[in-house]
Amino acid sequence: MIGAVILAAGESSRMGEPKLLLEIKGELVIKRLINVFEGIVDKKVVVLGHEPENLIPIINKSNAEWVINEDYKEGMSSSFKTGVSALEGCDAAFLVLGDQPIIRKDYLKKAVNAWKKSAKMVSPIHNGKKGHPVLFDQSLFNEILALNKDETVRKVIHAHDDEHELIESGEWAITDFDTPEDYERVKKKF
């Protein structure tokens, strides 16, 4: 069983409004993130934190679950740990950034196939830069859960670099948005 942890707990402070409620190609970012994993994963968990009431009604209309990270201000690792804890029974999990609205299904399929062939981690890469979403084998979950609040998931990634498969992908893999200018750029580019 494979899961996806969609990080949606942040405050979107630089954006000035909730990023996951913005539209890309006529679809809310949160819906795009949930829908792209359809037919790829068995369980989708959206990790909420800041103003969860904005997203809960949308998530409840999907086939995803949600959990609240009370410690969301501690950062992405805290939210990923919350999501991983909710993935009981999963053999692997994608770490999905909430502000990465373009994810290619062909990469997701390739990542799952690489994991099935024994990769402990799988990431997209574009022009030498690793991107997201990253697929983690369940054998790494305890290391992720053991991270302290000052450590990031990169610690686990670097510790297992020799077991990390990289899949050449497009620019989408390293594209996210934090500001209104970034958002406009993403809308035009994709």
What is the reported pTM? 0.94
Question: What total of structural domains would you count in the chain?
Answer: 1
Average pLDDT of the segment spanning 116-131: 96
Q: Could you list the residue range(s) of the whole structural domain that residue 9 is in?
A: 2-189
CATH assignment of the domain containing 135 = 3.90.550.10
Condensed to tens digits (0 to 9), the pLDDT of residues 82-96 reads 999 999 899 999 999
Q: Rounded CA gap, 163 and 157, in Å?
A: 9
Q: 143 pLDDT band (50/70/90 cuts)?
A: very high
Quick one: which of 68, 62, 54, 67 has its CA closest to 37?
A: 62
Helices (H), 44-170: 56-60, 76-85, 105-116, 141-145, 154-159
Mean pLDDT of all residues in the chain? 95
In the prediction, which pLDDT does 189 show?
A: 82
Q: 167 pLDDT band (50/70/90 cuts)?
A: very high
